[in-house]
């Protein structure tokens, strides 16, 4: 009977996420959590048994980078910067390391891992005389066409969940996003051979205007990453299959 209950277990949750977002790329190649900005989200989680769950959600955050904040002399000289909003729709699968469900005294805590697929929007911008303009429109590395604002990423990560009441739980999570672009920061390859000024001065922002045409502006061999991390409030929704003619059928 216990195994039957486990197979038949279902749980639906509405979750609210709050925390931070940051990026790893040409301006910030290795420092996690550096330059974090506020992030928020909402999601629906459907547990198919005690160990597995599927989640569908929306996240919003901002990412940014600034060479002026780097400790590397060559980055300070390059003097590039950007900021971008990120809007993400995601679907992920979760695996709980131990049995877990909200409102249960015995199965009240678990560590979990997750992985899935996401679609996201980004648009890197930089300051020009006090106003921020989209770098994508200026083809700063003389690209033949603009890179897409809407792209796909692979979210994955780890988290902890625990109960705080009969219908509520709290989670903490860290989730990298593997992207397939090197333009989250609008930096990928080389300075243009010919800089005719058509890119609004956004291509060469070196301190002394000393960039050599054709020299490397970024690292084209790596892709950029963005990250979400923070806390979630998880609210267990009522199971519509637990009512029959106005009576509640209790499940153990």
**69-91: average pLDDT:** 96
Which pLDDT score, from 0 to 100, does residue 10 have? Answer: 87
Could you tell me the residue range of the domain that residue 138 belongs to? 2-248
**75-92: average pLDDT:** 97
pLDDT 10s digits, 12-45? 999 999 999 999 999 999 999 999 999 999 999 9
Record the pTM: 0.90
Which pLDDT score, from 0 to 100, does residue 45 have? Answer: 97
pLDDT 10s digits, 173-220? 999 999 999 999 999 999 998 877 778 889 999 988 888 999 999 999
pLDDT 10s digits, 96-115? 999 998 988 888 999 999 99
Which pLDDT score, from 0 to 100, does residue 3 have? Answer: 54
pLDDT 10s digits, 53-74? 999 999 999 999 999 999 999 9
pLDDT higher than threshold 70 for residue 235: yes
Which pLDDT score, from 0 to 100, does residue 68 have? Answer: 94
**Number of C-beta neighbours around residue 238 at 10 A:** 10
pLDDT 10s digits, 110-134? 999 999 999 999 999 998 777 899 9
> Mind spelling out the 3-state secondary structure of 107-123?
CCEEEEEEEEEEEEEEC
- Could you tell me the CATH number of the domain that includes residue 148? 2.40.160.20
DSSP string, the chain: -HHHHHHH--EEEEEEEEEEEEEESSSSSS-TTTT-EEEEEEEEEEESSSSEEEEEEEEEEEEEEEGGG-S-HHHHHH--EEEEEEEEEEEEEEEESS---TT-SSS-EEEEEEEEEEEEEE--EEEETTEEEEGGGGTTT--SSPPPSEEEEEEEEEEEEEESSSSEEEEEEEEEEEES-S-TTS--SB--SS--STTTT-S---TTS-PPTTSBSS-TTS--EEEEEEEEEEEEPPPGGGEETTEE----
φ, ψ of residue 85 to 5 degrees: the values are: -80, 150
Which pLDDT score, from 0 to 100, does residue 244 have? Answer: 43
Domain total in the chain = 1
pLDDT 10s digits, 129-173? 778 999 999 999 999 899 999 999 999 999 999 999 889 999 999
């Amino acid at each position: 009977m216990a195994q039957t209950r486990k197979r038949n277990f279902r749980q639906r949750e509405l979750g609210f996420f709050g925390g931070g977002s940051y990026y790893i790329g040409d301006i910030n190649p290795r420092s996690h959590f550096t330059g974090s900005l506020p992030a928020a989200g909402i999601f629906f989680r459907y547990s198919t048994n005690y160990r597995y769950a599927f989640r569908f959600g929306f996240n919003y955050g901002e990412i940014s980078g600034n060479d002026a904040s780097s400790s590397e002399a060559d980055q300070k000289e390059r003097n590039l910067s950007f900021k971008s909003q990120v809007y993400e729709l995601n679907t992920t699968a979760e695996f709980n390391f131990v049995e877990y469900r909200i409102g249960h005294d015995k199965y009240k805590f678990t560590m979990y891992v997750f992985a899935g697929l996401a679609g996201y929007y980004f648009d890197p911008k930089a300051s020009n005389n006090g106003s921020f303009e989209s770098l994508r429109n200026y083809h700063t590395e003389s690209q033949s066409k603009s890179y897409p604002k809407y792209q796909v990423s692979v979210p994955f990560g780890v988290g902890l969940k625990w109960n705080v009441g009969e219908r509520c739980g709290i989670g903490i999570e860290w989730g990298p996003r593997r992207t397939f672009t090197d333009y989250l920061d609008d930096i990928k390859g080389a300075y243009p051979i010919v800089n005719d000024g058509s890119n609004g001065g956004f291509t060469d922002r070196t301190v002394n205007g000393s960039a050599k045409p054709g020299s490397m502006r970024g690292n084209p061999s790596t892709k950029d990453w963005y990250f979400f991390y923070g806390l979630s409030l998880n609210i267990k929704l009522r199971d519509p299959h637990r009512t029959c003619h106005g009576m509640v059928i209790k499940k153990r």
